[in-house]
Structure 1
Amino acid sequence: MSRPLRVIFSGTPDFAAASLTALLASRHPIVAVYTQPDRPAGRGRKLTASPVKRLALEHDLPVRQPETLKAPDVQAELDAFEADIMVVVAYGLILPRAVLDTPRLGCLNVHASLLPRWRGAAPIQRAIEAGDDESGVTIMQMDEGLDTGDMLLTRRTPITATTTGGELHDTLAALGGEAIVEALDALAEGGLPATPQPEAGVTYAAKLSKAEAELDFARPAAELAARIRAFNPWPVAWCPLGTERLRLLMAEAAAASGEAPRPPGTLLEHDTDALRIACGEHGHEVLRVSRAQLPGGKPLAVRDLLNARGDRLPPGLRLGHTRKETS
C-alpha cells in the first residue's frame, strides 16, 4: 500500500467538522488543524471555539488560529508541518498563493455544490431556493479564484420537494467526508484526473442575509415554498403577523381550489393540517404551509398549531405586506 498523506486540515463550522471526522477515521494522519479564532457567541457573547477546534482538541491535534494567512511567520509555521496536502472546508480565510503552493500536492477544497453551479458562500440554500432537483459535493484543486479550480471528484444527491436547507447541509457534510477520503486515497495511489470547470453553467451563491427572509406574498407559490425550505433552519422565512412575526418552516405550492382570488397574503380556509395563503401577483395561487412558529412559541406542525392557537390565524386575516404596497 502507498504511503499515507500528511494532511493539514483547515475548516471552521459543523459542515467542516464532518470532513475532519472522516479524515480522522482514515489512514491519513492530520498533522495540524487550522480554524478561525474563537468568536463571541450566544446571549452572553462569550468567546466560543469553532466545532472544528473542539473536535481537534478532543483528538489532541495541534490547532492554529491565525487572523490571516498572509503573515510570513504564519506561512513559515505552516511550511514547517511538512504536509503533503492541505484540505480546506468552509475555513473562512483567503489562502494566498504562497500557502496554496506550500503542501507538496497543493490544497483541496470540499465545496457543497456541483461546480461550476453555485460558486460562492451559500450554495446549499441557493440550490433549494432556485428549484434545483439535485446537489452534491465537488472536491476541487484550489487556485486563487473564487471556487474556480479544477474538479477532481463529485458526489451527487437529489433535492426533493421537502428537502430543507438543514437536511441538505447534513447530507452534503457526510458526502463531503466520504469524498475527501476517497480523493486522498486516490492521490496517495498516484493520481486523480483533474477536469477544468466549464464556463457554461457558472452561477454564484450570494451570502444569506436576514433581510431576504421576509416573504413577499405577491411572488409565485412555488418560489415562496422553495425559499421557505431553503431558509430552514436559518435565517428562517417569516412574515408580519400584526406587530410580530410568523415564521414559516415547511410549505408547498398547492392547486387553487376554484375560490375567488384574494389579496396576496390573505389566509384562506385552512386544511386540517396546513395554512393556505393566497399568493402570486393577483392572489390566484395558493401556498400551503404545514409547519410554522407563532411569536413566542415553538416550531409546530400546523395541525398542532391550529389546535392550540388557531384563534391567532383566522381565515380572512391578511399576513404581511407586499413590495408593491410598500414601494
Structure 2
Amino acid sequence: MKKKLKILFFGTSRFALYHLKTLIKNKYNIIGIFTKLNKRFNKEYYSKIKIINKKYNIPIYSPKSIKELNNIKKIYYFDIDLIITVSYGLIIPKKILKIPKINSINIHASLLPKWRGAAPIQRSIQNGDNKSGISIIQMNDKLDEGDILYKKTCKIKKKDNSESLTKKLMKLGSKSMLKIIKKIKNKKIIPIKQNNLKATYAYKIKKKEAKINWHKNSKEIERNIRAFNPWPVCYFKLNKIKIKLWKANILEKKNNKKSFKKGQIISINKNGIKIILNDGILNLKVIQIPGKKKMEIKNLILSNKKWFKIGDILN
C-alpha cells in the first residue's frame, strides 16, 4: 500500500531533508520535490538534494516565490494523494493544497500554537522553554495556523543548543510523520482547531541578534549562545577583533565586585574566561578566533599568543 501512495514533498532545510529520506527509506512514492535551492548559501543541502534527484530519479522544482510556484502548471495535473511540507520557506497557495486526494499536512518543530513561524527551535531555547515538540497540522494558506492532527512533546535540557534539539526533533518528527500518514489514510484522525489567542511567533533569526550585549543578564546571554549555535553563532569584539562564542556557563547568581565593569574579564584559567555581568559571572568555555577552528579555553591559554588579559572589556 505504501508504494501506491503518491506524495509531493515541500522542504528546504536539513530538518526537511531528514523527513524526506525517512519517506524514501520507508518506500513511499515521492513523485516530486519542491525546494528553495541555493548552491551558494547552502552547499551541503544543495548537494544532498541533488544526490536524491539522481539516485531515485525524483524531479525537483525550485520556485523562488509564491507567484513562481503558482505558475508551475504541471503541479495541477499531478496525481497526488498527499502533500507533505517540512520547513519549506514559502506559503503554499490554497488551490495547490486542495489538489491531493487525501490531505496536505505540515510537520512543524514546536507545540503549536506556540512558536509559529521560521525559527521555532531557536526561539524556544532563547525563551528558556523547558519543552518543545512536533506538531503535525492540516495545512491552510496561513502561517502554521491549520488544524492540529498530532502533537508529540520533547524535553529541552539545560545544555541543549539548536543543533542538539534539532536532532531530537528530526527523529521525533519523522516517526510522528510515518504514524500520522497511516492514520490519515485510514481516516482515524479528528482535527483540532488551534487557539489563536495563545499563539506566539518565532520570527526569522537575524545575524545582528548574535552580537552579545554584556548589559543583559547571564541567563539571557547564555540562552542566546545555545540558541544561535550552530548559526549565526554569538560573538563579541575585543580590540576590534570579532570573536565567536560557542559555549559558556553561568557560575554565580550574584557578585560583589563593584569595581569591575560589565563585560570585563576578571579571571582567566584552564576552566574558562570569567566575565562580569549584571547578575553574576559568565564563564566562556569555547571560542573561535578569526581564521582558526573553535577551541576550548584551556587550549587557547597554552598558545603562544595571549589573546585575553584580566581587565579587558569585551564589547
The answer to whether TM tops 0.5 is: yes
Asked if structure 1 preserves the Cα contact closer than 8 Å seen for 2:70 and 2:93, the reply is no
Q: What code does the residue aligned with 2:239 have?
A: G
Q: Retained in 2: the 8 A contact 1:273–1:302? A: yes
Shift of 1:79: 2.7
Distance change (3 Å), C-alpha of 1:38 and 1:267: closer
- For residues 111-160 of structure 1, what are the alpha-carbon distances to aligned partners after superposition, in whole Å with 9 as ceiling and x for unaligned? 11111111111111111111111111111111111110111112222111
Mark the CA change 1:259 to 1:309 in structure 2 (over 3 Å): closer, same or farther: farther
Alignment coverage as a number of residue pairs = 314
Structure 2 counterpart of 1:83, from 80, 84, 88: 80
Match of 2:18 in 1: 18
Q: Is the Cα contact below 8 Å between 1:69 and 1:75 reproduced in 2? A: no
Does the aligned pair in 2 maintain the 1:14–1:52 contact within 8 Å? no
Written as runs of structure 1 = structure 2, the 5 A alignment for 1:285-296 is: 285-296=280-291
Residue pair 2:218, 2:277 contacting (<8 A) in 1 also: yes
Q: How does 1:240-251 map to 2 (within 5 A)?
A: 240-251=237-248
Residues in 1 aligned to 2:38 and 2:261: alpha-carbon distance in whole angstroms: 48
Partner of 1:312: 307
- Aligned-pair distance for 1:72? 9.0
The alignment status of 1:163 with 2:160, answered yes or no, reads yes
Tell me if 1:273 matches 2:271: yes
Alignment of 1:182-193 (within 5 A): 182-193=179-190
Residue 96 of structure 1: how far off its partner (Å): 0.9
CA distance in structure 2 between the aligned counterparts of 1:241 and 1:69, rounded to whole angstroms: 43
Query: Gapped runs of 5+ residues in structure 2?
Result: none
Kindly indicate whether the alpha-carbon contact (under 8 Å) linking 1:35 and 1:50 is maintained by their aligned counterparts in 2.
Answer: no
**Can you list the C-alpha shifts for 1:188-216, whole angstroms capped at 9, x where unaligned?**
22232211112343111111111111111
Cα offsets for 1:197-249 (capped at 9, x unmatched): 12343111111111111111010001000001110111110111111112111
Cα distance, 1:276–1:88 mapped onto 2, change above 3 Å: same
- What amino acid sits opposite 1:159 in the alignment? I
Q: Find the aligned partners of 1:49 and 1:6 in 2 and give their Cα distance.
A: 24
SS across alignment from 1:154: strand
Using a 3 Å threshold, how does the CA distance of structure 1 residues 71 and 223 change in structure 2: closer, same or farther?
Answer: closer
Shift of 1:101: 0.8
Q: Which moved more, 1:95-104 or 1:253-262?
A: 253-262
Change (3 A) 1:273 1:73: closer
Post-superposition Cα deviations, 1:234-281, rounded to whole Å, max 9, x if no partner, equal: 11101111111121111222215754132110011135322211112x
- In structure 1, runs of 5+ residues without a counterpart are 321-327
Matching residue of 1:127: 124
TM-superposed CA distance for 1:67, in Å, is 3.5
CA distance in 2, matches of 1:178, 1:192: 17
Q: 1:2 to 1:244 in 2, by over 3 A?
A: closer
Q: Provide the secondary structure at the position in 2 that maps to 1:308.
A: coil
Distance 2:291 2:36 in 1: 33
* 1:1-327 matched pairs, under 5 angstroms: 4-41=4-41, 49=46, 51-68=48-65, 70=67, 74=71, 76-255=73-252, 258-261=255-258, 262-280=260-278, 284-308=279-303, 311-320=306-315
In structure 2, the CA distance between the partners of 1:240 and 1:106, relative to structure 1 (3 Å rule), is same
State the TM-score, normalizing by the size of structure 2: 0.91
Q: Please report the TM-score for the alignment, with normalisation by the length of structure 1.
A: 0.88
The percentage of counterpart residues that share the same residue type is 29
Secondary structure of 2:164's counterpart equals helix
Q: Cα RMSD between the aligned structures?
A: 2.4
Q: Which amino acid aligns with 2:40?
A: P
What is the distance in 2 between the residues matched to 1:268 and 1:310?
Answer: 19
Instruction: Identify which range, 288-297 or 240-249, moves more after superposition.
Output: 288-297
Matched residue of 1:56: which SS? Answer: helix
Q: Is the contact made by 2:2 and 2:28 (CA closer than 8 Å) also made in structure 1?
A: no
Q: Is the 8 A contact 2:271 2:285 kept in 1?
A: yes
Residues 54 and 309 of structure 1: CA distance in aligned 2, closer, same or farther (over 3 Å)? farther
Task: Give the secondary structure class of the aligned counterpart of 1:18.
Answer: helix
1:324 corresponds in structure 2 to none
Offset from partner CA, 1:69-116 (integer Å, 9 cap, x none): 546984541132211110011112221111111112231111111111
